[in-house]
Amino acid sequence: MNRLQNLFKNKTNSLLSIYFTAGYPELDSTVAIAEALEKSGADFLEIGFPYSDPVADGPTIQHSSEIALENGMTLHVLFEQLKDLRKTVSIPILLMGYVNPIVQYGVENFCKKAAEVGVDGVIVPDLPMYEYEALYSKYFIDNDLSNIFLVTPQTTEDRIRKIDELSNSFIYLLSSSSITGGSLDVSSGIEDYYKRIKAMQLKNPMIIGFGISNKTNFDKACEYANGAIVGSAFVKLLKDEDYLNKIPAFIKSIKS
């Protein structure tokens, strides 16, 4: 059982996950940010590795990816940075990024290396379900890595059931069909969507992401799911020169 599965076993509500891009704002900020987030009370982390063409991301994360690449971030550099991670950070860690850098690194090598540095799961939005199942799931399973699938309001029930079957830690529920950094849709349609999924009684917990930026929509998301993910709103905070010292107040503002 990896740290992620363990977390969901022990805590089932109001889980807060924070996304940030590795190598942003500075190449070496990755581990310091992770440590500060753990100390401030984040329940788990998503560390993004940058890609030149991030089609699922809005301007904030596009920008952080661009800067991270300019700073020299690569998967090799990231794994080097994370090699002593588990000495100081104990909460579950996911890596999030696009499929091409992983394919170039080698999917099997990527999974081995991720497990070696203590990563618990991976989110790859553009890795299709068929290719995951047929070609790559064995590497994930051998290395005790959870692969996280996304679900949108347009995902059909059959497909959600299939995703539930292939998942072993949580399902990433998108608040709407959108790129990252939008605002939470609280129209009546979205309530129906959450209720519909809740009524499916899936075996995996659910975490809501995309458009979660403050306490109000974090609390709203937690009414329907086991927790929520804050990404762009946190990445914006990192623009501040004194970002490390501002992290505790940011987490407190969402989770108090």
Partner 1 sequence: MKYGVNDLGYYGDFGGAYIPEMLYPNVEELRQQYLTIIEDPAFKAEFDDLMKNYVGRPSPLYHAKRYSEKYGANIFFKREDLNHTGSHKINNAIGQILLAKRLGKHRIIAETGAGQHGVATATVCALMGIECIIYMGEIDMQRQAPNVSRMKMLGAKVIPATSGSKTLKDATNEALRDWIANPVDTHYIIGSVVGPYPYPDMVARFQSIISSETKKQLLEKTGNELPQYVMACVGGGSNAMGMFYHFLDDEDVKLVAVEAAGKGVDSGHSAATTFLGREGVLHGSRTILMQTDDGQVIEPYSISAGLDYPGIGPQHAYLYKINRAKYVSITDDEALQAGLLCSQLEGIIPAIETAHALAYLEKMQFKKDDNVVICISGRGDKDLDTYIKYFGF
Query: Which positions lie near partner 1, rule CB under 8 A?
Result: 51-56, 58-59, 62, 66, 69, 74-76, 98-105, 125-128, 130-131, 149-152, 154-156, 159, 174, 177-179, 182
Burial label, 244 (beta-carbon count in 10 A; 0-12, 13-18, 19+): middle
Q: How far apart are CA 172 and CA 67, in angstroms?
A: 26
Nearer to partner 1, 44 or 105 (CB): 105
108 catalytic per annotation:
no
Rounded least distance, CB 155 to partner 1, Å: 6
Rounded least distance, CB 199 to partner 1, Å: 20
Which candidate, 118, 97, 120, places its Cα nearest to that of 24? Answer: 97
* Catalytic option among 38, 46, 120, 164: 46
Nearer to partner 1, 24 or 105 (CB): 105
Nearest-5° angle of CA 23, CA 28, CA 31?
A: 90
Rounded least distance, CB 126 to partner 1, Å: 5
List Cβ neighbours of 243 (8 Å cut-off, separation of 6 or more).
Answer: 25, 33, 237
Q: How far apart are CA 33 and CA 157, in angstroms?
A: 38
Rounded least distance, CB 121 to partner 1, Å: 16
Nearer to partner 1, 158 or 241 (CB): 158
| Beta-carbon-side half-sphere exposure of residue 75 (alpha carbons within 13 Å) | 20
Q: How far apart are CA 155 and CA 153, in angstroms?
A: 6
Instruction: Give yes or no for a contact between 50 and 102, defined as CB atoms under 8 angstroms apart.
Output: no
Nearer to partner 1, 42 or 212 (CB): 212
* Catalytic option among 38, 43, 57, 120: 57
84 catalytic per annotation:
no
Give me the active site residues, please: 46, 57
